[in-house]
Structure formats: structure tokens, C-alpha cells
Structure 1
Amino acid sequence: MSDLELLTRSLGRNVKRWRNERGFTLDALATRAGVSRGMLIQIEQARTNPSIGTVVKIGDALGVSITTLLDYEQGPRVRIVPADQAVRLWHSEAGGYNRLLAGTEAPGPLEMWDWRLMPGESSPSDPHPAGTVELVHVTAGELTLTVDGVPHRVPAGASASFEADAPHAYGNEGDVPMEMVLAVSVPPVR
């Protein structure tokens, strides 16, 4: 079985599991996540490979991390994620990418990402649930972090934190690749 097939099956199984644990119907989850009921059915039946945006919306609606939705084995209390098992969820032809490095539920989803944006690239994000906080640390280049329409420059070596319940985007307006580590903390679903 290929990695993509394994992730697709894991995603389907875990979405269904967490939807049932939360007591959500397909319609209720579709409404909360802003995705169609048909898309959820296809995901739960492992018949589609949804976009990262769709997976983020479903995770936010369920109150679980992307790591939890993609986890294909229950591990011990200490979980080591080998470098070759970091999940790449987005990449561009120019060489930009993001990789989910690690994540946990503590008490809500907590994720750590490795991002690279090539010159001229940007990646927008819809608002996350109220109370979501993101931390970024730029390791190379300069990040243009736009939160609620206001751009902020974050140079290499600098860090930033922000409330992520507003539209936001990560951009590279420079002429060298921008690399950063991003942590996302989402409050638990109540």
C-alpha cells in the first residue's frame, strides 16, 4: 500500500471515529467545517484525497489536530517521528512546501510545522476557531505575515505569535527561500 493510500484510509477512519466520538452527524460536521456532506462521505470512505484546507477545516470542526486525523497507528506516550515520516501536505512546482513535523492533543490540538516558501509564493489560511494561537520562528529569508489584512515583516532569527481566528497568510516577498517553523494551538471543542 502506498503512503498516499495509507494516509487516505487513515484520514477516513479517523474522521469517522472523531465525528462519532463528538456525536456529530454528517450534516452537523459538514455545517461546522464548511464542507459538503458528499465530501465528508468520500473522505470517510477513503475515496478522495482532500486538500489541506479541507483537512484543516475538518480538524478545526472536530477539535483535533491534523496529526490525529492522519495517525495510522496508536503510539506510546513518547512518539518519535522520523524525518522521512513527516507528512508533506502541500508543495509547489517552485519548491515551496509545508511538512507536519509533530502534533498532539494537549488539551486541544497542538501542531508543529516546517514551512518553505520560494520567492513570490504565498499561502493563505482561513480563520481558525476562536482561541487558536500560532507561533512562527523564521530560520531563513523573511516572512511576510499578513493577519486580518495587515502585513508584518518577520526576518530570519525572529519569531512572532498571533491569534489565528482572523484571515491570515504566509508570504515570501524576498528573493531567497523563506523557511520557518510554525506551531498551531487550537482550543478543544466544547
Structure 2
Amino acid sequence: MQTGDDSKAPLERYLGATIRELRQRHDLTIAQVADQAGISRGMLSKIENAQTSTGLDVLHRIAQALGVSLSSLFRNFDVPQGDAQLVKKGAGMEVVRKGTKRGHTYHLLAYDQGPRKAFEPFLITLEDEAERFPTFEHPGTEFIHMLKGVIEYRHGQQTYILHPGDTLTFQADIPHGPERLIKTPIQFLSIFIYPPGTAE
């Protein structure tokens, strides 16, 4: 039986799916939960299938039978749908940047949409100890987090020895770049954070 108020349908579907998921997660049967909540098995089945609406008192008893609070049944209702961008391991787009040579790869890990870009996260791998690097300059801030290897990295007139777990953050409009590859292979995350209004 469908209720006449269509505005309740999304909530009924959400509650039904949530109750069924909790019941199955705890390996409980409809009969066990219905008996514990003091309602008929048919009623619980209709609630799970969004075929009927019910009051807060009944929902409270169902929640108790499931071992959760009443508020937890509503916790994720009407939460905005996520729009995250997932890039699986090894699937980042390989890009060519100034100084890119053999044994020096950039993988872009997210693709900013629209006419302006806010940030660019790269996974950078350096393998050739004999490689010479140009200096880089670009707007905004750069954040580096070392994952593997040891590198000497230059920013302006200063150089820094970076080991796995180290981070380096700096203004990117000052000349910077790898000075010396101490222990290869080297891998680090490099995140460019651009100031507002930076065009692609």
C-alpha cells in the first residue's frame, strides 16, 4: 500500500533501507526484530519496503530492537550527495611539464573542472640520479610530502634534505626544484595551491 503523501516517500524509503541494513548487519530476522519491537512481522516488512509510514513511537521501538538510538536512524537522511573524484592507484593522468625527461614522471591525481583552477595534486617519481633539473616558478603555494627516497630540494637560496614523511611548504613564485637526488627512487606528493583568479 502506497501512502497518498508522495513527499513522505523519500523518507520512508530511506528509513526502510536503513532498518533493513541494520537488521541484516546484526544477523537478525524480521521475526526477531518485530517480536522485540512489539509489532507484527508484516508491519515490519512493510516498513522495510517503504509500503507504509509509521510513528516515532514504533520507530523508537524498532531502533531499540536493533540496538541503536532513534536519532541514528535519521543520521544520513537528506545529506547532500557526494561528488568526490576518485583516481585509482596507477590511474593518474601522466602529464608533461618543463624538465620532464626519462625517469622523471608527473601523475596528475585530480582534474579541476571549470575555467579557474584552485589546486593541482601531482605524484612525482624521480629515478635518474644523473638528471639535471630546471628551476620552476608559478603562482601560489606548493606543498611537498615525501613518500620514498631522499632528495635535496632548493627554494630560493636555501636547500632542504627531505626524507620519507617530511613536508615542505613554500611560495611557488620563488625559483624552486630538485637540487640533488640522494637516494632513488624518489617519490613525493606535490600539491600546487593557486591564488583566486588563476587562469588555466
TM-score (ref. length: structure 1): 0.50
| Whole-angstrom CA distance in 2 between matches of 1:167 and 1:124 | 9
| Whole-angstrom CA distance in 2 between matches of 1:189 and 1:122 | 33
1:35-68 superposed Cα distances (whole Å, 9 cap, x missing partner): xxxxxxxxxxxxxxxxxxxxxxxxxxxxxxxxxx
Name the residue aligned to 1:109.
Answer: 118
- Unaligned 5+ residue runs, structure 2? 1-81
| Whole-angstrom CA distance in 2 between matches of 1:78 and 1:138 | 24
Check whether the contact 2:152–2:181 (CA below 8 A) recurs between aligned residues: yes
| Whole-angstrom CA distance in 1 between matches of 2:91 and 2:180 | 26
- Give the aligned CA root-mean-square deviation in angstroms: 2.7
Bigger Rg, structure 1 or 2: 2
- Aligned mate of 1:159, from 167, 184, 194: 167
Name the residue aligned to 1:128.
Answer: 138
| Whole-angstrom CA distance in 2 between matches of 1:117 and 1:151 | 18
Check whether the contact 1:120–1:174 (CA below 8 A) recurs between aligned residues: no
TM-score (ref. length: structure 2): 0.48
Check whether the contact 2:151–2:178 (CA below 8 A) recurs between aligned residues: yes
Count of matched residue pairs: 112
CA deviation after TM superposition for structure 1 residue 182, in Å = 0.9
CA deviation after TM superposition for structure 1 residue 150, in Å = 2.2
Mapped pair 1:169 → 2:177 = yes
CA deviation after TM superposition for structure 1 residue 122, in Å = 4.6
Output aligned runs, 1:172-183, within 5 Å.
Answer: 172-183=180-191
Mapped pair 1:144 → 2:159 = no
- Using the TM superposition, name which of 100-109 and 151-160 deviates more: 100-109
| Whole-angstrom CA distance in 2 between matches of 1:82 and 1:172 | 30
1:121-142 superposed Cα distances (whole Å, 9 cap, x missing partner): 354343212xx11111111111
